[in-house]
Amino acid sequence: MLADLTVNAALLVALSTLYGLLGQFRKDRETRFKVLAGVLFGGMAVAAMNLPFRYEAGIIYDGRSIILALAGLFGGATTSAVSVAIAGAWRAYQGGVGVWAGLSTVVACSLVGLAFRRTHRNRPDTISALSLYGLGLASHAAMLASQLLLPWPEAGVVISRIWLPVLLIFPAATFLIGILLRNEERRIHLERELWESRENYRITFNSIGDAVIATGGTGSIVHMNPVAGFLTGLKPHEAIGAPLDEVFRIVNEETRAEVEEPRGSCAARGAGGGFGESHRPSFARRARDTHCRQRGGWPAGLPTFTTTCST
């Protein structure tokens, strides 16, 4: 029995990989993700029930308790409801004298997982390793208590035979898989924060009233806001990757001599660069000149170009 339970628990480690693949549906589609996660957890529970340890006809033990407890913790109410419906329907279909104990296990382990999620304020990525092991103990204590629904006196005999291997193996398996899922939750959470940060940057960058062109270390344009696009005659996405001096060509308004663009001077000196007070610069694009100034360098009313460079 010990070997059968160990193999059953080890097979469930694959759950974390499949859960990670669902992360692509999470951004802006939280409800769809929760439903799909419920189908995943429910399907894995069914797979576990098809690889059981058979105590006797109609009485089986498997890894569904691990899966459904983790479904409640990491998926929440929607995921848990879907997985319970799938796993419960399959256990009812299997029938046998242990059907009520099996259905009770399905529901009880899910409720334990939801309780732990509530305790951690719906943030399973913050759960500690000790709490994950506590989840394993609590859910499998509930699983053992569900065996009281077996016919008597068989229930007492069953519990006396399985309680030790169950409490030795299944909480440890819950802990292991929980760590993998928690790490996946943290990765998804960090990706979401990064995406939100980029969105905030994009909105702020595009809302600036000045023309802003940002370049990388090689002098190629990496960002250009709509104001700069309007004044250069290019759409921002058309300028991405182009050398700055092809898009932003500066000439002296009086002499028409080409002026070094600010990025070149700042890269050469390793400090901030500008046009200098001796220049009244313009830049030419599509047969028209546009006066431009460095911020603070020329009177208000002329277009402002702010260039940034990085190395």
Dist. CA 121–CA 114, nearest whole Å: 10
**pLDDT score of 305:** 46
Map 24-70 to HEC letters.
Answer: HHCCCCHHHHHHHHHHHHHHHHHHHHCCCEEEECCEEECCHHHHHHH
Q: Is residue 211 within 8 Å of residue 197, measured between CB atoms?
A: no
**pLDDT score of 290:** 57
Least confident of 101-110, 137-146, 217-226, 255-264: 255-264
**pLDDT score of 284:** 45
Q: What is the mean pLDDT of the chain?
A: 79
The pLDDT-based confidence of 111 (bands split at 50, 70, 90) is very high
Q: Is residue 311 within 8 Å of residue 267, measured between CB atoms?
A: yes
| Nearest partner of 20 among 234, 233, 183, judged by Cα | 183
Dist. CA 72–CA 69, nearest whole Å: 5
Q: Is the dihedral of CA 245, 301, 295, 204 positive or negative?
A: negative
pLDDT tens-digit map of 18-39: 887 887 767 667 888 899 999 9
The pLDDT-based confidence of 212 (bands split at 50, 70, 90) is confident
pLDDT tens-digit map of 179-199: 999 998 898 888 888 888 888
DSSP string, 211-266: EEEEE-TTSBEEEE-HHHHHHHTS-HHHHTTSBHHHHS-EEETTT--EE--HHHHH
Instruction: Please compute the mean of the pLDDT values over residues 267-279 and round it to a whole number.
Output: 49
Identify which has the larger pLDDT, 254 or 208. 208
Instruction: Please compute the mean of the pLDDT values over residues 74-95 and round it to a whole number.
Output: 95
Identify which has the larger pLDDT, 144 or 196. 144
Beta carbons within 8 Å of 258's beta carbon, 6+ residues apart = 249, 250, 251, 252
Does residue 148 register a pLDDT over 60? Answer: yes
Least confident of 7-11, 217-221, 254-258: 7-11
The pLDDT-based confidence of 56 (bands split at 50, 70, 90) is low
Phi and psi (nearest 5°) for 277? -70, -20
The pLDDT-based confidence of 265 (bands split at 50, 70, 90) is low
Does residue 279 register a pLDDT over 80? Answer: no
The tokens of 172 are what?
């440890």
Phi and psi (nearest 5°) for 222? -110, -25
**pLDDT score of 171:** 93
Please count the other Cβ atoms lying within 10 Å of the Cβ belonging to residue 10.
Answer: 13
List the beta bridge partners of residue 221.
215
Does residue 164 register a pLDDT over 60? Answer: yes
What's this model's pTM, rounded to 2 decimal places? Answer: 0.70
- Measured between alpha carbons, how far apart are the two ends of the chain, in Å? 63
Least confident of 71-75, 187-191, 259-263: 259-263
